[in-house]
Structure 1
Amino acid sequence: MILRQEQIKQLIKIGSIEITPFDEELQLQPSSVDIRTSERWYRYPKELEPELQILDPKNPYMNILEREYISDSGIVVEPKSFILVDSYEYIKVPENIAVHLQQKFRLVKMGLQLINGGWLEHGFEGTVTLCLYNTNEFPVRLFKHMPVAQLFFAKSD
């Protein structure tokens, strides 16, 4: 059962669902909660592009993502580029609630795809790493604390 706005609000109020920071007026939707970009984003180092022919889980290049920070003027995601962005919010849900992660439609209209949308496990705790890919022919600008995805909460027995 997907929770509605009033149910989500009540579970946040009693501390069963934890979202920090949380701005009810800005983030609470009729059946979801918006999450925003933090100031942190990650990419593979540009200087290694000529050397990188394939990414392999056993390859040490998997552990060399560069961390950068989003300035007040934002970051530009170039066409056909892939970045990782941490969520601004820390989320914690109990064992009887799973979370579905879905991108905001306004990003879809710009050609920015959330690659890792789907279910987060029951009892999830932490920030969400958002994997974003620009499918557009034009660059897309992102800002820190910009709503990019939404969380739907599902209660199970």
Structure 2
Amino acid sequence: MAILSDTELKEIIEEKNAVYTDRGPDIDMDLQLGPSSLDLRLGYEFGFLDTRSVKALDTRKMENYDKIRNTRKTTPEEGMVIHPGEFVLGSTLESLKVPNDLVARIEGRSSYARLGLIPHAAAGFVDPGFEGQITLEIQNLGNVPITIYPEDRICQVVFETMTSESEQPYGEKTDSKYMNQEGATGSRLDKEHR
């Protein structure tokens, strides 16, 4: 596998609509495009759990998950405060449309990591054929609250080539439970085939 360069990133964004926005400011290639990645901006919606009303989350009994899950929308001026140890879901402003011969990886930006903020804790692999916004698992590992703002560049996407085109892209699999997701999408573990 090989990582796409800025030249190839521009091509797949312009010709294959691999990264696009439906709401908010357009992609600023001069600001967001790096030598081998594209910075993605924070979206407007956040998800968090009301942890005081539950003893534990049971991954085999997810029926209570939606009852304790809350969402909040915020503006680029207001921002969202992430307290030490706190975990919230966010999303990218941009949507991805991963071609069937590529995979994408979402990585945090070091400027945020140096503050103790992990903008994307896990699930950074994006399958070929996936389309939608990326849900971010945001955690403050530091000792002080950190305010983050929608429309700021919080993470980056890297595209890599595969040895061949996928025979069964993400959207064609029966377990494609996050296809076309928007906003801070919570866990859909209850929809997983076991």
On whether the aligned pair clears a TM of 0.5, the verdict is yes
Q: Distance in 1 between matches of 2:15 and 2:78?
A: 37
Higher strand share goes to which structure? 1
Cα contact 2:98–2:127 (8 A) shared by 1: no
Instruction: Name the counterpart of 1:119.
Output: 125
3-state secondary structure, aligned to 1:62: helix
Displacement after TM superposition at 1:117 (Å):
4.8
Instruction: Name the counterpart of 1:144.
Output: 150
Verify: 1:54 aligned to 2:56, yes or no: yes
Instruction: Name the counterpart of 1:88.
Output: 93
Higher alpha-carbon deviation: 28-37 or 65-74: 65-74
May I ask how many residue pairs the two structures share in their alignment? 154
CA deviation string 1:54-80 (max 9, x = no partner): 111213332232110123121110011
- The amino acid of 2:71's aligned partner reads R
Q: Which runs of 4+ in 1 moved over 6 A?
A: none
Instruction: Name the counterpart of 2:49.
Output: 44
Bigger RCO of structures 1 and 2 (CA < 8 A, at least 6 apart):
1
Higher alpha-carbon deviation: 53-62 or 5-14: 53-62
Q: Distance in 1 between matches of 2:6 and 2:144?
A: 35
Scaled by the length of structure 1, the TM-score of the pair is 0.91
Cα contact 1:99–1:153 (8 A) shared by 2: yes
Cα contact 1:98–1:124 (8 A) shared by 2: no
Calculate percent identity across the aligned residue pairs. Answer: 25
CA deviation string 1:95-153 (max 9, x = no partner): 10100110010111111112125311112210000011111110011001111110000
Instruction: Name the counterpart of 1:69.
Output: 73
Q: Distance in 1 between matches of 2:104 and 2:31?
A: 19
Structure 1 gap segments, 5+ residues each: none
- The amino acid of 2:147's aligned partner reads R
CA RMSD of aligned residues (A): 1.5
Higher alpha-carbon deviation: 113-122 or 72-81: 113-122
Displacement after TM superposition at 1:16 (Å):
5.4
